[in-house]
Amino acid sequence: MCLSLPMQVVAHADDNGHFAIVERHEHGTLRRERANMMLIGPQAVGTWVLVALGLAREVVADSERALIEDALAALAAEIAGAYDPALHFTDLTS
């Protein structure tokens, strides 16, 4: 299974914008990688994109990113045995 993660563009890896350096903080560590931007085109530093297997596939709005981060936190909580439905997916109950 392939999971796309929200990652922020922090630098351009080439002059034409086909590749960027993206990063995200996960579980207290910094994950940084080179992403192919050819599907969505060059993006400004600071832009959040969904990345899977080194390929940026779409630009993510802050509101959508918050929902994705909540789902990822719920998954991590379930794996740790600490899932509480009242703490996650609050957008579905409001």
Q: Cβ contacts of residue 21 below 8 Å, gap of 6+?
A: 9, 10, 11, 12, 13, 32, 33, 34, 35
Q: Among residues 63, 24, 22, which one has the least CA distance to residue 44? A: 22
pLDDT digits (tens, 9 = 90+) for 29-70: 999 999 999 999 999 999 999 999 999 999 999 999 999 999
Q: Among residues 61, 35, 60, 37, which one has the least CA distance to residue 50? A: 60
- Domain ranges in the chain are 1-60, 61-94
Whether the Cβ atoms of residue 34 and residue 67 lie closer than 8 Å to each other: no
49: enclosing H helix or E strand: strand 48-52
Q: Does residue 1 surpass a pLDDT of 60?
A: no
Architecture of domain 1-60: Roll (2.30)
